[in-house]
């Protein structure tokens, strides 16, 4: 088998090119139509353009495979070519981490990492509530370089109230604060305020009146 493989290879490629040049214009149009169809099947309207461009490359390979089947070069079914293309593309998406832009994915990774590294250490824990106040009393445990407060929900998860300056200077790192808030909101991890405000008004310990914060569930960051 090894010796045969060393002397017999590339036959399908040469046969494909031979058939392609016989009816070049029609087959090129057919390839374009196939690629557009495959891209449509692989992508969603919400996918980032970066993802769509990669899908076009996968679709080009898939279109070539289907053409080879239609020309009698490959002894396969065109449906299996489409399935293989979709399988490879889905594997690429899974490895990449989703269909958002690379900038958005990196921002979400950094946001998740911040709370994994500093969640308990830099957020003062709120332990008492009052019906007339969102939050009232902390546990008075010393927190160094405080970024805000955290309160435990009934299901055991934590809701973090990040102060605006800490959000800009500490949490967001090199990312624009407005951009980070936008993608956190789109991911479902941010609890926005009223109307179009991404910041939420709450009453916090040490603050006499309502304060705008970024209310975040880190466990919901994808």
Encode pLDDT of 151-180 as tens digits.
988 888 999 999 999 999 999 999 999 999
With 0-12 / 13-18 / 19 or more C-beta atoms within 10 angstroms meaning exposed / middle / buried, residue 61 is middle
- Least-confidence region, from 18-22, 54-58, 188-192: 18-22
- Among the three residues 65, 96, 127, which one is the final residue of a domain in this structure? 96
| SS3 category, 86 | helix
- Please determine, for residue 140, whether its predicted confidence score (pLDDT) is greater than 80: no
The percent of residues in the chain predicted with pLDDT above 90, rounded, is 60
Beta strands 123-130; 148-152: pairing state? parallel
Do 116 and 40 have their domain in common?
no
Encode pLDDT of 51-100 as tens digits.
999 999 999 999 999 999 999 999 999 999 999 999 999 999 888 877 88
Do 11 and 106 have their domain in common?
no
- Please determine, for residue 134, whether its predicted confidence score (pLDDT) is greater than 60: no
Q: Count of domains in the chain? A: 2
Helix H or strand E encompassing 193 = none
- pLDDT band (50, 70, 90) for residue 37: very high
Do 111 and 21 have their domain in common?
no
Do 84 and 121 have their domain in common?
no
Do 61 and 155 have their domain in common?
no
- Among the three residues 51, 80, 96, which one is the final residue of a domain in this structure? 96
**pLDDT for 168:** 95
- The whole-number average pLDDT for the span 36-57 is 92
- Among the three residues 70, 96, 122, which one is the final residue of a domain in this structure? 96
The percent of residues in the chain predicted with pLDDT above 70, rounded, is 94
Do 106 and 216 have their domain in common?
yes
- Please determine, for residue 136, whether its predicted confidence score (pLDDT) is greater than 60: no
Do 13 and 116 have their domain in common?
no
Do 173 and 216 have their domain in common?
yes
Please, what's the largest Cα pairwise distance for the chain? 83
CA–CA dist 78, 3 (Å, integer):
31
For 203, the domain range is 102-220
Do 121 and 136 have their domain in common?
yes
Do 196 and 107 have their domain in common?
yes
Q: Are 214 and 161 in contact (CB under 8 A)?
A: yes
- Please determine, for residue 133, whether its predicted confidence score (pLDDT) is greater than 60: no
CA–CA dist 141, 175 (Å, integer):
30
Q: Are 70 and 78 in contact (CB under 8 A)?
A: yes
**pLDDT for 130:** 53
Do 130 and 88 have their domain in common?
no
Rounded to the nearest 10 degrees, how much is the dihedral formed by the CA atoms of 110, 114, 117, 119? -150
Do 215 and 106 have their domain in common?
yes
């Amino acid at each position: 088998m090894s010796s045969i493989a060393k002397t017999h290879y590339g036959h399908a490629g040469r046969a494909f090119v031979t058939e392609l040049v016989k009816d070049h214009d029609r087959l090129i149009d057919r390839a374009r139509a196939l690629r557009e169809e495959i891209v449509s099947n692989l992508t969603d309207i919400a996918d980032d353009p970066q993802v769509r461009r990669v899908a076009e490359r996968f679709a080009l390979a898939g279109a070539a495979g289907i053409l080879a089947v239609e020309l009698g070069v490959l002894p396969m079914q065109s449906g299996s070519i489409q399935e293989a293309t979709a399988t490879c593309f889905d594997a690429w998406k899974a490895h990449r981490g989703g269909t958002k832009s690379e900038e958005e994915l990196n921002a979400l990774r950094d946001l998740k990492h911040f709370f994994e590294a500093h969640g308990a250490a830099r957020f003062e824990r709120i332990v008492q509530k009052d019906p007339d106040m969102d939050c009232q009393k902390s546990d008075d445990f010393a927190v160094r370089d405080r970024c805000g407060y955290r309160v435990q929900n009934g299901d055991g998860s934590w809701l973090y109230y990040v102060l605006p300056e800490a959000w800009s200077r500490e949490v967001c790192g090199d990312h624009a604060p407005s951009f980070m808030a936008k993608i956190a909101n789109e991911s479902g991890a941010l609890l926005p305020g009223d109307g179009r405000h991404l910041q939420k008004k709450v009453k916090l310990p040490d603050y006499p009146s309502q304060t705008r914060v970024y209310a975040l569930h880190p466990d919901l960051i994808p």
